[in-house]
Amino acid sequence: MTNSNEIKIYDTTLRDGTQREGISLSCDDKLRIAQRLDDLGVHYIEAGWPGSNPKDVEFFERMPELNLQNARITSFGSTCRANSDPDQDNNIKALLQSGTPTCTIVGKSWKLHVTEVLQTNLQENLRMIEQSIAFLKTNNKEVIYDAEHFFDGYFNDPEYAMETIVYAAENGADTIVLCDTNGGTMPWQIGSILEKIRKKLNITLGIHTHNDAGCAVANALIAVQNGATHVQGTINGYGERCGNANLCSIIPDLELKMGISCLPENNINKLYETSHFIAEVANLSPNEHQPYVGHSAFAHKGGIHVSAMRRNPMSYQHIDPELVGNKMRTIVSELSGQGNLHSKAEEFGIKLDEKETVATVLSEIKQLESQGFSFEAAEASVAIRLKRNQPNYQPPFQVLDYSATVQNRQKRGTFSEALVKIRVQDQEFHTAGDGNGPVNALNIALRKALLPSFPKLESIHLSDFKVRILDGRDGTASLTRVLIDMHDEQERWSTVGTSANIIEASWQALIDGIEYGVILR
């Protein structure tokens, strides 16, 4: 078991993480992410391979732009090539030229890689490790040695794998990181091997795991249990193939489950925003179901769960979500009970005076979901139904009639026209709108009618429009679900409509969204 009460977090999102398919970061992107990682409080930020591409060269040149308070920027490279000296090796020279106080170099631990990938002999590989580390140490660098494919090498020949890291330790490596590069080692194997190494080497040990067998986080934690005090990983688990160990799980597991400090005090509550910020910069949709930092990590849908949660928030949550900067959410669906709606009403600031209101709305939602509606991602449609079912509720407007047409005319092409008749209090308004499609035309006509009475509509905009065919077997007569997102200067909300007629489904969602914006914003 580890005796350390602090673990060093080594983030390799900017190097190993960018090897994920679909990620390409500019130098500016990398600088922004590095600053955010420093704000989170990681100890090391592995920024890239300075000898490999112009983008990484630029990053190291622009390093002084960063205002780092917690992290050390680390450059990454490999041992010198076979039959060459470190002082003549371009890769090693690039590490020195990068100007980082810490250099991480990777070397081979698996005989297969020595003989078939490097195409050299076992003794020459040891010489490469020995002289590369010694050379960097003579240049006053902190050296982190990544023992690549260490566990595969250990299974193949434990004596040679051990010999490689002994050479690294004896020649001045400050930290030796054991890498499960292929990601196929099991947690009990990691633990057993770490226990043996810990007895033989008196040096800081680290762990670097990949997720090809779905065990990267577990493998990192079992390594810590058995003496590793340096943990490498990436934000959101980004990385090649199935990804790297996910620091968004490892960090809270260490701090909240194992009682081991790995960030500055109270910084763990920045984890949610860090995860989503990096996903945004990487132009990837966040994995909203990942532990701790997913938007759905603390979302409760089942009625029994929500009922229990209203009595004690910890009844179906393993931590307080605010510890990691997240929050608890209640989802309304056909699986909901009355507790779901009470929680949703509280979230939207709606006071429910009558029990019958909740029962009525719940029955309506269950009936509508059986017809194809889905309220999970359309919370504003739930909120407006709660308002409509309150005693003495006066709707802000009433729709009397609407129509929409699609036309194609010479010289003008295809366009749409819409007519809307509504009542606001005792006044009727009959307006028309032209648009590039029927929903656009309806939206324009509706706003014309409502703006004189509700000027706040000027700041309410439609930001997204999604259409889903629920059962394609009926072809063009299939049931259609429409999800509309709207936003003003402070908030974004979503509404839903469902019908075999796509215009009707769109109109349902549009009316819900406008009414919500007028009443509850």
Parse the chain into domains and list their residue ranges: 8-281, 299-388, 398-520
The CA distance from 189 to 492, in Å, is 48
CATH number, domain 398-520, options 3.40.1400.10, 2.60.120.380, 3.20.140.10, 3.30.160.270 = 3.30.160.270
Locate the DSSP E strands across 49-141.
Answer: 72-78, 102-108
Residue 45 has pLDDT above 90, yes or no: yes
Q: Over range 77-101, report the average pLDDT.
A: 95
Residue 291 has pLDDT above 60, yes or no: yes
Cβ pair 435, 415 in contact under 8 A = yes
Residue 4 has pLDDT above 60, yes or no: no
The CA distance from 40 to 34, in Å, is 10
Q: CA dist 101 to 60, 72, 146, 444, Å?
A: 12, 7, 17, 60
Specify the length of the chain in residues. Answer: 521
Q: Over range 384-390, report the average pLDDT.
A: 79
Percent of the chain exceeding pLDDT 90 equals 68
What's the pLDDT at 470? 77
Cβ pair 219, 251 in contact under 8 A = no
What's the pLDDT at 3? 44
Q: Over range 139-168, report the average pLDDT.
A: 97
Model confidence at 407, pLDDT cuts 50, 70, 90, reads confident
The candidate with the shortest Cα–Cα distance to 29, out of 44, 13, 52, is 13
Q: Which residues contact 357 (CB under 8 A, 6 or more apart)?
A: 386, 389, 390, 391
Percent of the chain exceeding pLDDT 70 equals 87
Residue 160 has pLDDT above 80, yes or no: yes
What's the pLDDT at 317? 81
Residue 309 has pLDDT above 60, yes or no: no
What's the pLDDT at 469? 84
Residue 415 has pLDDT above 80, yes or no: yes
Rounded to 5 degrees, φ, ψ at 77 are -160, -170
Q: Which two tokens stand for residue 6?
A: 């602090």
Among the residue ranges 115-124, 127-136, 249-258, 454-463, the one predicted with the least confidence is 454-463
The candidate with the shortest Cα–Cα distance to 270, out of 38, 13, 30, is 38
Give per-residue pLDDT as tens, 170-193.
999 999 999 999 999 999 999 999
Q: Over range 500-510, report the average pLDDT.
A: 92
What's the pLDDT at 314? 73
What's the pLDDT at 492? 86
What's the pLDDT at 264? 96
SS3 486: strand
What's the pLDDT at 2? 44
Enter the pTM of the model. 0.76
Model confidence at 408, pLDDT cuts 50, 70, 90, reads confident
Residue 345 has pLDDT above 70, yes or no: no
Positive/negative CA dihedral, 72, 76, 79, 85: negative
The residue written with tokens 């995860």 in the block is: 275
Q: Over range 253-275, report the average pLDDT.
A: 96
What's the pLDDT at 301? 65
Q: Over range 58-63, report the average pLDDT.
A: 94
Q: Over range 277-300, report the average pLDDT.
A: 88
What's the pLDDT at 478? 77
Cβ pair 23, 282 in contact under 8 A = yes
**Higher pLDDT among residues 463 and 224, named by residue:** 224
Give per-residue pLDDT as tens, 454-471.
999 999 998 888 888 877
What's the pLDDT at 342? 60
CATH of domain 8-281: 3.20.20.70
